[in-house]
Structure 1
Amino acid sequence: MRDAQYTIDAFHRGRFHVVQPKGEGHRSGIDAMLLASLVASDGPVSVADLGSGAGAAGLAVASRLEKAVVLLVEKFPVMAAYARSSITLPENAFLADRVRVIEADVTLTGKARLAAGLEDEVHDHVIMNPPFNHAGDRRTPDSLKAQAHALTDGLFESWLKTAGAIMKPGGQLSLIARPLSIAEILAACGKRFGGIEITPVHPRPGEDATRILVTAIKGSKARLAFRAPLIVHGSDGHSFSPDVDDLNNGRAAYKRRGKVSGRA
């Protein structure tokens, strides 16, 4: 990492910390914490965080769930280096032996995917915060950030194909995305995932949703469900609503409505 080009940021009210780029690349915040909150388990659980960046979401899972083992999967070497630095922080010693990083392109298939360390049917949960900017969106001059945020054609299909391959039967897919991607997400789930639950996330009361939380179960035949919306900010428009504050700070999980055998 370049000297003085990063910050060390506290999450879960100082429970764990993340080394993040200061002037380039993607910086994690509430999106990563909401994504992490979708993983709920009372026992040992294996979690893969695809496109993990500096590792905030995966580290948040390991912070909240003492029996979780987490694999951070990141394509860009510079971001993988931030993730490795995060793991070795003294503040993160309590989770360091349960988190590891591999550099791999999520879109790899077949033998190339296996060679990169993405093994078949080993994870109970796969989480992801895929790139979300469409071609018509205003582009950032930061090339690393632009690549991390650029939504390309077929992205959800390729990412969910990998998620399904590395996930155990009955495992849970969790992702956060923009609402305009909902059709692509449903199409990519196809016959791989069922029991899809979608939660719209609204910044404030009366404002349109800017994110959706999606969970689904590998091989499930259960029907699609739309859940009650999450409102990020309370009546004052600035502070977090109580439910979101709990999710953002690792005090609670956002559990599925549908029950999954062997999982909370």
Structure 2
Amino acid sequence: MTTRLLFRAIFRRWYVMLLAVVVAAGAYVLLERDGGTYSTKPVVAFLLPGGESLAAGNGLENEAVISFAATVAESINNGRPAERYSRDSAPLYGAGIRQDVRISVPSDGTQWRANFPRAEIAISIVGSDRAWVEATQRQYLEKIVAISEAQQIAIGAVETERIHTEVMPLTTAIEYVSAGRTAELAAMGALLAAALILGAWVSVLLERRSASARRRVPTGHQQPMRSAAGPIPSRYPLRTEE
């Protein structure tokens, strides 16, 4: 199809293009109304009795404490091993996740060998509602403390000798993440381009079907009509006298 015929089809089926643009605009408005997401990643440290998060020898790097923290993380994660994260791990919203909770423990090992350097549990929370994110954060922090206490009580650990938990400073902050102006314009342009391409394709398709219907010839054999003034053929041959 030539460019002239393409524009002719678009001009004749202008309502298709208009409908495609309206649908694209509606999709953009819905995405814009949905807005950004709220994200937080509180980190809970497990420390030896009397230890403080910023003090030396607090047990944060003690292997026994690290193992205990991993056990608590697995319990919170419904019996499944907690995920591993490193300092350069992407946040949940960076992976396109709109609402989720992930339990993880720090690891600076390789793909084949795990290495857990600190007795910490990180709770990655992302959601579109700030109140939900805040309530979920509070719920999981309380759950970590409760499970930690319950497991130590179960083995008969004396209160003064129990491992205690402490939320790392500034990790409970909840931040709002939204797309930048450039990303919004790019999304708008992509939706508009998709609408124009789809509208043009549908216009051409409808135009071809319409042209095919106009060229269609009725099928079936029609008997030729005899003139009333003409001779009527006889079924029997006429005899002539000699």
Q: TM-score, normalised by structure 2?
A: 0.24
Higher RCO (Cα < 8 Å, 6 or more apart): 2
Larger radius of gyration: 2
Relative to total residues, which structure has the larger strand share, 1 or 2? Answer: 1
